[in-house]
Amino acid sequence: MIIKQLSVFLEDKSGRLTELTWILAENDINITALSLAETADYGIVRMVVGRPDLAKDVLESAGFSVGLTDVVCLRMPDKPGGLYAALRILADNDINIDYMYAFSNNGVALAVIRAEDINHVIDVLQQNKMELISQSEIYQI
């Protein structure tokens, strides 16, 4: 249930994100989810994409600084309290979230979650009947 997230270090200069998405487009790689975290001088783009290993290769050969990070993708009901239920379980198990990004539409809510011991997160969520999305499923979305 581990999903390989693509993380890219970006300097704060215009056109850099455009360049990145162009390279992915040229290589026929679809972006399922994306979040951009920024500081005053640089940013980190985190993406769930189809074919992450290929994406890493093509971006690295274009000079980007790329890493693959293990994350989980959680599917929740799109209603009040949906996210709370999942976070309550994590908190009760002393799991500290490094970062997450989420989106909901048409009755489905999805959250990408990063924590230190990702296997422990998967175990805890599955034991509590939470619905996780697999890497192969991601590519269908």
* φ, ψ at 8 (rounded to 5°): -125, 130
Binding-site ranges for other proteins (CB under 8 A):
5, 7, 9-11, 37, 39, 41-42, 44, 46, 63-65, 67, 69, 98-99
Instruction: Identify which of residues 7 and 30 has a Cβ nearer to other proteins in the complex.
Output: 7
Q: Minimum distance between the CB of residue 127 and other proteins, rounded to whole angstroms?
A: 27
Instruction: Identify which of residues 30 and 69 has a Cβ nearer to other proteins in the complex.
Output: 69
Q: Minimum distance between the CB of residue 39 and other proteins, rounded to whole angstroms?
A: 6
CA-based nearest residue to 27, from 67, 54, 53: 54
Helices vs strands, H then E, count in the chain: 5, 7
CB 131 within 8 A of CB 75: yes
Instruction: Identify which of residues 61 and 106 has a Cβ nearer to other proteins in the complex.
Output: 61
Half-sphere exposure of 8 (CA within 13 A, CB side): 30
Q: Minimum distance between the CB of residue 15 and other proteins, rounded to whole angstroms?
A: 13
